Amino acid sequence: MDNNTLLNEVIAKAQTWLDGNYNDETKAEIRKMMDAEDKTDLIESFYRDLEFGTGGLRGIMGAGTNRMNIYTVGAATQGLSNYLLSQFADIEQISVVIGHDCRNNSRLFSEISANIFSANGIKVYLFEDLRPTPEVSFAIRHFGCQSGIILTASHNPKEYNGYKAYWDDGAQMIAPHDENVITEVMKITNVDDIKFEGNPALIEIIGEKVDQAFIEAIKTISLSPDAISRNKDLKIVYTPIHGTGVELIPRALREYGFTNIIPVPEQNVVSGNFPTVISPNPEEPAALDMAVKKAIETDADIVMASDPDADRLGIAVKNDKGEWILVNGNQTALLFIYYLIRRWKELGKVTGNEYVVKTIVTTEIIKEIAEKNGVECFDCFTGFKWIAAVMRENEGIKEYIGGGEESYGFLPETFVRDKDAVSSCTLMAEITAWAKDNGKTLYELLQDIYLEYGYGKEKGISVVRKGKSGAEEIAQIMSDFRTNPPKEIAGSKVCIIKDYKTLKYKNLLTNEESVLDMPATSNVLQYFTEDGTKISVRPSGTEPKIKFYIEVRGEMKSRADYNAADAAANAKVEAVRASLGV
């Protein structure tokens, strides 16, 4: 499609909003874009419709079909309502939970959605104020609802908002439900199809009782209460980065038994503008700067940070020189899995019927820990909805221990079906207390894991390509890798290729080919080399970027070898980057 044709289509699409039953504020914003000499904003706002990706509906706020606004949110909610009415026609009262984060317009979008659900005869449990994403998942199961949504864009920049939809098990929707909801949403071609006039009798405001039930459930996951009791004054610096963890996570830590939670006052200010950070993302070192400074001031034992919707956890620890270092998502998952499996074994809870879950781009050391200890390890696609899908399939058959992904998400329990920074913070504090009880720091515990299972280093690289042209460039990059796969990476021969789009597995050393056993396809490529390096390439499902995941392996014979192993791994990572051209 040439630029003139695209522009004409976009103008025609925008005109339907000007002619339709949209509010004056929206129409004024559209006219401003149409009158501008540069039509980039107009094209970006209307060239496509927002779609559900790995994280649901997510986009920049503003007017247009490709923007988050009351009409795109309204269409999503009306479509979901229509689908729920068709799927649960035999239920006397269909019900949903609605939550929201700290972002600008999140409360507005949640109230709009509550009105639309109730206008369709669906009972709504609406949280009174902002709440962590995992609590919405918990509440769906707690109330026995058929669905739920939360208005959040997780760790995205302040211009974004999003809409995550859940099914009756408290997990994010996967096929066929996500695809069917999209179909229902696409049927709504006129704003007048959306029922905006709510029924207050069907909207129930919820809050404290659910908070307490959630915390009581979290307290049941503790495996080392004695270690907590002996180290209850552990110095824990925690920051919510202006988000929804601000009240519930410190409260959960206190009720778990910890007495010395140190806040970062500037970041306890709830704000969708995230005034103290460029990006409210615990993956970004700068997001933890203020917390680390507070830890230095107070001589803390651990730093913990949750992202704005409190489903992901970032931590920092002191190394052997007393310097504060950030722990990446893979290492955090390693600490969780190692601790959970070890304590389950020590408590006699491992019987051979237990399992853990990781995503395909997460470190392979997790699988090695699990298998060495008689625990099954499932690999799934990126996105916590796939971890939840494994849990659903194994419910009542196998015992779930924990599951996580490299992007700082972990779930150590079954009463939530999404990543959960609330329970993860309490458990990480417990791990810190348990390590201290055993004469170790978290840093030393991580080193000991590497000593037992082999050293690993992971590096995530994101190449950002915004807008329509960026999406096309990302598609071309994936096509090039698929058509012309590398024969060697950083001097090591590629021996295995996994293509999750075609579900083809190929061993280049033996010429063996087979079909990957996965529940769906996904646009992910993986390359495994002879020296143990793993490369994964995939477009992000929620952001305008293509992601490269690099994992290299090394050796350690003692804790003293850690720095040398790390330096060698860093050199290998850079060689891999050079080979890939990223």
Q: Which residues form the catalytic set?
A: 154
Which amino acid is present at 12?
A
Q: How far apart, in whole angstroms, are the C-alpha atoms of residue 22 and residue 301?
A: 54
Q: Is-contact 508 517, C-beta < 8 A? A: no
Q: Both tokens of residue 144?
A: 């026995």
Q: Both tokens of residue 355?
A: 């399992």
Q: How far apart, in whole angstroms, are the C-alpha atoms of residue 125 and residue 170?
A: 14
Return the HEC string of 222-289.
CCCHHHHHHCCCCCEEEECCCCCHHHHHHHHHHHHCCCCEEECHHHCCCCCCCCCCCCCCCCCHHHHH
Q: Is-contact 411 386, C-beta < 8 A? A: no
Q: How far apart, in whole angstroms, are the C-alpha atoms of residue 140 and residue 132?
A: 13
Q: How far apart, in whole angstroms, are the C-alpha atoms of residue 72 and residue 57?
A: 9
Q: Is-contact 140 147, C-beta < 8 A? A: yes
Tell me the DSSP string of 75-94: HHHHHHHHHHHHHTTT-SS-
Q: How far apart, in whole angstroms, are the C-alpha atoms of residue 338 and residue 348?
A: 15
Q: How far apart, in whole angstroms, are the C-alpha atoms of residue 358 and residue 403?
A: 6
Which amino acid is present at 29?
E
Return the HEC string of 401-452.
EEEEECCCEEECCCCCECCCHHHHHHHHHHHHHHHHHCCCCHHHHHHHHHHH
Which residue, 148, 193, 133, 168, is CA-closest to 409?
133
Q: Both tokens of residue 250?
A: 């410190």
CB atoms within 10 A of CB 511: 7
Long-range Cβ pairs for the range 493-498 (8 Å, 24+) = 493/529, 493/530, 494/527, 494/528, 494/529, 495/528, 495/529, 495/530, 496/526, 496/527, 496/528, 497/525, 497/526, 497/527, 497/528, 498/360, 498/524, 498/525, 498/526, 498/528
Query: Which pairing describes strands 123-127 and 147-151: parallel, antiparallel, or unpaired?
Result: unpaired
Which residue, 562, 311, 313, 548, is CA-closest to 431?
313
- Angle (CA) 547 552 553, round 5°: 155
Q: How far apart, in whole angstroms, are the C-alpha atoms of residue 513 and residue 425?
A: 43
Q: How far apart, in whole angstroms, are the C-alpha atoms of residue 238 and residue 295?
A: 9
In the chain, the N- to C-terminal Cα span, in Å, equals 30
Give Cβ neighbours of residue 475 (< 8 Å, ≥ 6 apart). 539
Among left, alpha and beta (phi > 0; psi -120 to 50; other), residue 563 is alpha
CB atoms within 10 A of CB 113: 28
